[in-house]
């Protein structure tokens, strides 16, 4: 029953997605989650697209609850947070909940688990659904005893009334009781009465992860399971020129060599055999390579020279000034998600039905893409989310799902587990795009910003399935799908232009998004999208302007901030850090500050930090970072802290070390030796996260709040130490050393 309904919703969701891919920028308010921003029914969160309460919550006869979410655990702790939300409003102990996450056979379609939307979309839906379920149960109890619902209350899975009567939830629920549409409003628990929400409930997934339980798709062992590996081309667009797979086919333990056009895979009983067979096959294949990659050393120029589709996303007052006090070109290289566990999927073809266990961020979109790829009806393909290593955006998860599906077709009935090799993940994942931002700003006589112009260049940050052409395998098979058309995510969330509109009060400002339809390197969404570079550029410029006008960087920001919540986190971070009373930094040390509200829609985050730079090596270490964050109503404060700490550390790595390397043909950063990331020696020596509580306000996602401010705060601290404004990421040791050398010279030259 519920199945049929949820399928209808599924189709609606799919329709929205396809529309979004084909319509122009402003025609449809698409978000990175693949869902529409335009309300269909005016219901809270994802209830709007899946209104039936029992699509979200079912009460078992024993009174326990099964809770469904279309979002997936990506290591961000969403499983625990959503259980807290549901438990709180259901008035049921968390131990009596079972949470089913993203599964096209069972859960609502909530698009992608992305863009820090999970608590906002699914958490809001579950909170309201749970509250309404609770009220329905209370109402049912009232009906049975002929009392008024207002006299009854629910606690610990029991509805109790004045006469001392009580009903367990299991006794109240009947087949159709919860099979009703949600209402627009719910009776929500007052934050003062929370017993589960806003508490640091320990994560439910951690015990298995620290004891060797089967926690990941990588750990699944299905009966009869075999192992697959893929041979990928050496470079984008390479064509298979010759291959004699015979020697691999006869290797002991090899079940099959799969070849469909240039899509090459091996299947073996044992994983190690599959790897050896893959290596063998790779050595036998001959390719014609055609890729013409940009000159890595001049990436910003190459990007700005590409044809662009320009959109003015902000235009107020008179943004053009006769001259600019600050005028700088900021850039970042392509960045790798770099999941520690390479992507993995298991697929099984049984009869005419395919099941794929996958750590995709979007089970429904992947399901649809696979169905098209394999020419199967959508209802014959089921994608079930199983955790992988942290992905931070679109890594190889979807691609390996397609790889596994294609291999599974070759050995019907047997589950095929495919995991990518390290070099495949590094070379083939869709990178966070290389970007350029040009900022110009002028100061007025009163020390306020008089004019502001922001131009940003970037290719698409959203090339997820949907269209089968988003999947690597779909391009290599004999009858290939065309590459998917580039998607320019529109404002207000934006893609490359995410956070390009400052939150500051600027009477004269313009921001232009130069969307690059061409994609020199494969790219898609990576944590914070364009926000990381745009915030880096804006917050660097704010600091320079503060300096030029002789104002303290924090005061200068406050002077230009009207949003009270923004002012609060800025003030909080500054106070907790001791910004005002910060001592003069010892030689080689300095302070940096930065702030942003992610997407101008999600969490507010301000970061103050102190760094120490070794003068002669340029080695930079964060001595102390203090973050203040406002995520609206907090579900799990420790979860928020974990996300912000992680965001700071990850963004430190992006900022100091990382760039995807390539020659004119191939990606050359294919492992941790060629793509170094932060190791323990560079861990910040101290991180503090202060949460500004906002009881009762809407949930705001926290997973991507810290990245932009961290990069900018580091750059501002480097400027504090060296007097040099560095605008080209990464701020690696050689770059910082050069700045230090320049600043250590006896005479004072202007920066």
Write the binding mask 41 to 80 for another protein: x where contact by CB under 8 A, - elsewhere: ---------------------------------xxxx---
CA–CA separation, 249 and 254 (whole Å): 6
Q: Taking CB within 5 to 8 Å according to partner kind, which of another protein, ligand FES, none is near residue 653?
A: another protein
Q: Which is nearer to another protein, 152 or 477 (CB)?
A: 477
Q: Taking CB within 5 to 8 Å according to partner kind, which of another protein, ligand FES, none is near residue 76?
A: another protein
Q: Does 616 bind another protein (CB under 8 A)?
A: yes
Bridge partners (DSSP) listed for residue 349: 354
The closest alpha carbon to 705, from 634, 631, 625, belongs to: 631
Q: Taking CB within 5 to 8 Å according to partner kind, which of ligand FES, another protein, none is near residue 281?
A: another protein
Q: Which stretch binds another protein (CB under 8 A): 168-176, 458-466, 511-519, 648-656?
A: 648-656
Q: Does 671 bind another protein (CB under 8 A)?
A: yes
Q: Does 75 bind ligand FES (CB under 6 A)?
A: yes
How far lies 214's CA from each of 161, 222, 346, 387, in Å? Answer: 44, 12, 14, 10
Q: Does 639 bind ligand FES (CB under 6 A)?
A: no
Q: Which is nearer to another protein, 178 or 649 (CB)?
A: 649
| Residue 646 beta carbon to ligand FES: minimum distance, rounded to whole angstroms | 8
Q: Does 206 bind ligand FES (CB under 6 A)?
A: no
| Residue 74 beta carbon to ligand FES: minimum distance, rounded to whole angstroms | 10
Write the binding mask 504 to 523 for ligand FES: x where contact by CB under 6 A, - elsewhere: --------------------
Q: Does 548 bind another protein (CB under 8 A)?
A: no
Tokens of 134: 């609770």
Residue-level length of the chain: 751
- Using CA atoms of 696, 702, 608, 438 in order, give the dihedral in degrees to the nearest 10: -120
Phi and psi at 283, nearest 5°, equal -70, -25
Q: Which is nearer to ligand FES, 131 or 389 (CB)?
A: 389
CA–CA separation, 360 and 386 (whole Å): 8
* Residue partners of 320: CB distance under 8 A and separation at least 6: 451, 453, 510
H or E element in which residue 719 lies:
helix 707-722
Tokens of 657: 């070390």
Q: Taking CB within 5 to 8 Å according to partner kind, which of another protein, ligand FES, none is near residue 319?
A: none
Map tokens 């209370």 to a residue: 138
Phi and psi at 325, nearest 5°, equal -70, -35
How many residues touch ligand FES under the rule CB under 6 A: the total is: 4
CA–CA separation, 242 and 234 (whole Å): 14
Q: Does 77 bind ligand FES (CB under 6 A)?
A: no
Map tokens 């893959």 to a residue: 278
Tokens of 722: 């060296």
For strands 153-155 and 97-100, give the pairing: unpaired
Write the binding mask 334 to 373 for another protein: x where contact by CB under 8 A, - elsewhere: ---xxxxxx-------------------------------
- What part of residues 185-224 is at the interface with another protein (CB under 8 A)? 200, 202-203, 205-216, 218-219, 221
| Residue 246 beta carbon to another protein: minimum distance, rounded to whole angstroms | 15
Strand order in the sheet with 344-350: 254-260, 263-268, 226-231, 416-419, 344-350, 353-358, 381-385
Q: Does 375 bind another protein (CB under 8 A)?
A: no
Q: Which is nearer to ligand FES, 34 or 75 (CB)?
A: 75
* Residue partners of 206: CB distance under 8 A and separation at least 6: none
Q: Taking CB within 5 to 8 Å according to partner kind, which of another protein, ligand FES, none is near residue 270?
A: another protein
Q: Does 390 bind ligand FES (CB under 6 A)?
A: yes
Bridge partners (DSSP) listed for residue 266: 229, 257
Q: Taking CB within 5 to 8 Å according to partner kind, which of another protein, ligand FES, none is near residue 684?
A: another protein
Q: Which stretch binds another protein (CB under 8 A): 140-148, 290-298, 414-422, 564-572?
A: 414-422
- What part of residues 331-360 is at the interface with ligand FES (CB under 6 A)? 340
* Residue partners of 46: CB distance under 8 A and separation at least 6: 35, 70, 108, 110, 121, 122, 124, 125
| Residue 639 beta carbon to ligand FES: minimum distance, rounded to whole angstroms | 13
How many residues touch another protein under the rule CB under 8 A: the total is: 112
Q: Taking CB within 5 to 8 Å according to partner kind, which of another protein, ligand FES, none is near residue 416?
A: none
- Using CA atoms of 424, 426, 431, 436 in order, give the dihedral in degrees to the nearest 10: -140
| Residue 112 beta carbon to ligand FES: minimum distance, rounded to whole angstroms | 19
Figure out which of the listed residues 55, 86, 278, 347 binds another protein, where binding follows CB under 8 A. 278
Q: Which is nearer to ligand FES, 390 or 393 (CB)?
A: 390
DSSP 15-67: HHHHHHHHS-TTTS-B-TTS-BSS-SS--SGGGGT--BGGGTEEE-TTS-EEE
Q: Which is nearer to ligand FES, 552 or 638 (CB)?
A: 638
Q: Taking CB within 5 to 8 Å according to partner kind, which of ligand FES, another protein, none is near residue 428?
A: another protein
Binding residues for ligand FES, rule: CB under 6 A, are 75, 340, 389-390
């Amino acid at each position: 029953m519920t199945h049929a309904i949820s399928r209808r919703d599924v189709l609606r969701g799919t329709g929205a997605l396809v529309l979004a891919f084909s319509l122009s920028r402003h025609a449809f308010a698409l978000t990175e989650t693949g869902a529409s921003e335009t309300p269909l029914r005016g219901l809270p969160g994802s209830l709007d697209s899946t209104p039936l309460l029992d699509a979200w919550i079912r009460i078992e006869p024993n009174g326990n609850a099964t809770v469904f979410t279309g979002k997936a655990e990506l290591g961000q702790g969403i499983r625990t947070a959503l259980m807290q939300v549901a438990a709180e409003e259901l008035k049921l102990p968390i131990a009596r909940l079972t949470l089913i996450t993203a599964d096209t056979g069972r859960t609502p379609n909530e698009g992608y688990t992305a863009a820090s939307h999970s608590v906002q979309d699914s958490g809001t839906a579950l909170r309201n659904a749970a509250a309404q379920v609770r009220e329905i149960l209370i109402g049912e109890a009232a009906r049975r005893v002929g009392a008024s619902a207002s006299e009854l209350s629910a606690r610990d899975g029991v509805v109790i009334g004045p006469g001392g009567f009580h009903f367990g939830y299991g006794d109240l629920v009947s087949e159709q009781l919860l099979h009703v549409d949600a209402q627009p409003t719910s009776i929500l628990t007052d934050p003062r009465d929370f017993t589960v929400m806003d508490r640091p409930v320990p994560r439910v997934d951690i015990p298995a992860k620290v004891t060797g339980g089967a926690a990941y798709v990588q750990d699944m062992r299905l009966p009869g399971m075999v192992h697959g590996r893929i041979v990928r081309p050496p470079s984008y667009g390479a064509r298979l020129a010759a291959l004699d797979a015979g020697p691999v086919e006869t290797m002991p333990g090899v079940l099959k060599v799969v070849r469909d056009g240039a899509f090459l895979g091996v299947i073996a009983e044992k994983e190690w055999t599959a790897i050896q067979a893959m290596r063998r096959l790779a050595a036998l294949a001959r390719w014609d390579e055609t890729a013409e990659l940009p000159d890595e050393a001049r990436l910003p120029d190459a990007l700005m020279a590409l044809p662009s589709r320009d959109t003015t996303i902000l235009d107020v007052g008179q943004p053009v000034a006769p001259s600019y006090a600050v005028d700088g070109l900021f850039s970042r290289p392509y960045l790798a998600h770099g999941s520690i566990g390479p992507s993995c999927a298991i697929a099984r073809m049984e009869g005419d039905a395919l099941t794929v266990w996958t750590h995709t961020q979007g089970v429904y979109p992947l399901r649809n893409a696979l169905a098209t790829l394999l020419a199967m009806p959508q209802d014959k393909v089921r994608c079930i989310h199983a955790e992988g290593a942290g992905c931070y955006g679109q890594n190889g998860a979807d691609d390996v799902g397609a790889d596994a599906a294609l291999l599974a077709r070759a050995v019907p009935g047997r589950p095929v587990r495919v995991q990518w090799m390290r070099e495949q993940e590094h070379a083939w994942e869709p990178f966070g795009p290389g970007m350029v931002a040009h900022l110009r700003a002028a100061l007025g006589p009163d020390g306020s910003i008089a004019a502001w112009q922001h131009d940003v260049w970037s290719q698409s940050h959203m090339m997820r399935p949907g269209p089968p052409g988003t999947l690597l395998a779909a391009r290599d098979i004999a009858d290939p799908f065309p590459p998917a058309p580039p998607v320019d995510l529109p404002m207000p969330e934006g893609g490359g232009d995410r956070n390009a509109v400052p939150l500051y009060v600027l009477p004269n400002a313009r921001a232009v998004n130069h969307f690059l339809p061409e994609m020199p390197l494969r790219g898609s969404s990576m944590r914070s999208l364009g926000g990381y570079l745009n915030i880096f550029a804006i917050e660097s410029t704010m600091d320079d302007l503060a300096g030029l006008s002789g104002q303290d960087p924090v005061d200068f920001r406050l002077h230009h901030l009207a949003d009270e919540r923004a002012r609060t986190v800025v003030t909080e971070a500054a106070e907790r850090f001791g910004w005002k009373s910060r001592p003069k930094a010892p030689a080689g040390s300095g302070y940096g500050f930065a702030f942003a509200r992610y997407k101008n829609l999600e969490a507010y985050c301000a970061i103050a930090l102190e760094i120490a730079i070794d003068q002669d090596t340029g080695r930079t270490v964060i001595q102390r970072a203090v973050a203040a964050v406002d995520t609206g109503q907090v579900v799990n404060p420790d979860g928020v802290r974990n996300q912000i700490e992680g965001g700071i550390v990850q963004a430190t790595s992006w900022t100091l070390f990382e760039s995807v390397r390539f020659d004119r043909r191939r990606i050359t950063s294919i492992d941790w030796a060629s793509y170094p990331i932060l190791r323990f020696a560079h861990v910040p020596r101290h991180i503090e996260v202060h949460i500004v509580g906002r009881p009762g306000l809407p949930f705001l996602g926290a997973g991507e709040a810290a990245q932009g401010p961290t990069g900018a705060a580091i750059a501002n601290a480097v400027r504090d130490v060296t007097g040099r404004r560095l605008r080209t990421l990464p701020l690696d040791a050689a770059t910082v050393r050069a700045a230090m050398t320049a600043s250590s010279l006896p005479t004072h030259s202007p920066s």
